[in-house]
Amino acid sequence: DVKVTQSSRYLVKRTGEKVFLECVQDMDHENMFWYRQDPGLGLRLIYFSYDVKMKEKGDIPEGYSVSREKKERFSLILESASTNQTSMYLCATVPLETEAFFGQGTRLTVV
Amino acid sequence: QKEVEQDPGPLSVPEGAIVSLNCTYSNSAFQYFMWYRQYSRKGPELLMYTYSSGNKEDGRFTAQVDKSSKYISLFIRDSQPSDSATYLCAMSGNSGGSNYKLTFGKGTLLTVNP
């Protein structure tokens, strides 16, 4: 079974802090994605990566950056956390066009 | 118009009912159509996928795609309380982008009452 592990289930950070959300997959997949999920808005794509050191902006990249130094690890960075970034963050790998494997999610609260 | 539209519900049905969940989409280049199930406080998991138009059945679940109408459906027969979850449709294969970039509906919250 594919395993996608996100470093934290719950996180509370202060406004203005730099926040790192880590995601690790164990299947050597090339494609990795970061989404945020909000009530009434569904899943929205923040950034994705097709290979090491490669990244592309999704639909809502503002206020975020990413890092992919190793194939198995894809990090989401909130440069200066704000309260409107309070959300559920989901990492996924997509080895085929027909399936995404998601992590368990990180519920981030910015106070 | 959003690329994928899905009625968020909530939908509440008695155990044993037939459930119908639907999505419409606007991008005619979509070729892969998926349904994900998400239990509370968990990540989504793939339930079924269909390539292009047609039907696919897996146990109590049937997925239908009508590309001419840009409409997809998921039917759940003999619904069980364990089916209570949020169901998200997803699509991929849009031209000019990657086939691996999935576009999701907002999800429909389903509750099956014993």
Compare B84 and B31 and report the one with higher pLDDT.
B84
Strands (E) in chain B, as ranges, are: 4-6, 11-14, 19-25, 32-38, 45-51, 54-58, 61-66, 71-76, 85-92, 103-104, 108-113
- Is the CB of A98 less than 8 angstroms away from the CB of B43? no
Structure tokens belonging to residue B98: 């990657």
- Choose, out of A29, A43, A107, the residue to mutate when testing the contact with B (most B CBs < 10 Å): A43
Question: Which residue, A29, A65, A19, A90, is CA-closest to B88?
Answer: A90
- Is the CB of B43 less than 8 angstroms away from the CB of A45? no
Q: Has residue A60 got a pLDDT over 80?
A: yes
User: Average pLDDT, whole number, for chain A?
Assistant: 93
Cβ partners under 8 Å of residue B30, min gap 6: B91, B92, B93, B94, B103
- Is the CB of B101 less than 8 angstroms away from the CB of A48? yes
Q: What is the pLDDT of residues B37-76, one digit of tens each?
A: 999 989 999 999 998 888 999 999 999 999 999 999 999 9
Shortest Cα–Cα distance, B69 to chain A (Å): 21
Radius of gyration of chain A from its Cα atoms, rounded to whole angstroms: 13
User: Phi, psi at residue B81, to the nearest 5°?
Assistant: -55, -30
The reported pLDDT for the residue numbered B110 is 97
Question: Which residue, B34, B3, B7, is CA-closest to B110?
Answer: B7
Strands B45-51 and B19-25: unpaired
The reported pLDDT for the residue numbered A54 is 87
- Is the CB of B99 less than 8 angstroms away from the CB of A99? no
The reported pLDDT for the residue numbered B94 is 59
For residue A9, the 8-state DSSP code is S
Once rounded to an integer, what is the mean pLDDT over residues A55-67? 95
Residues of A in contact with B51 (CB under 8 A): 98
- Is the CB of A41 less than 8 angstroms away from the CB of B34? no
Residues of B in contact with A92 (CB under 8 A): 43
Strands B4-6 and B85-92: unpaired
Once rounded to an integer, what is the mean pLDDT over residues A48-68? 93
The reported pLDDT for the residue numbered A45 is 93
Instruction: Give the C-alpha separation, A47 to A110, whole Å.
Output: 20
First to last CA, chain B: 38
The reported pLDDT for the residue numbered A14 is 97
Q: Tell me the pLDDT band of B1, cut-offs 50, 70 and 90.
A: low
Instruction: Give the C-alpha separation, A10 to A79, whole Å.
Output: 19
The reported pLDDT for the residue numbered B97 is 55
Once rounded to an integer, what is the mean pLDDT over residues A70-99? 93
Q: What is the pLDDT of residues B75-114, one digit of tens each?
A: 999 999 999 999 999 998 854 556 678 889 999 999 999 9
- Choose, out of B102, B103, B108, B109, the residue to mutate when testing the contact with A (most A CBs < 10 Å): B102
Instruction: Give the C-alpha separation, B109 to B19, whole Å.
Output: 12
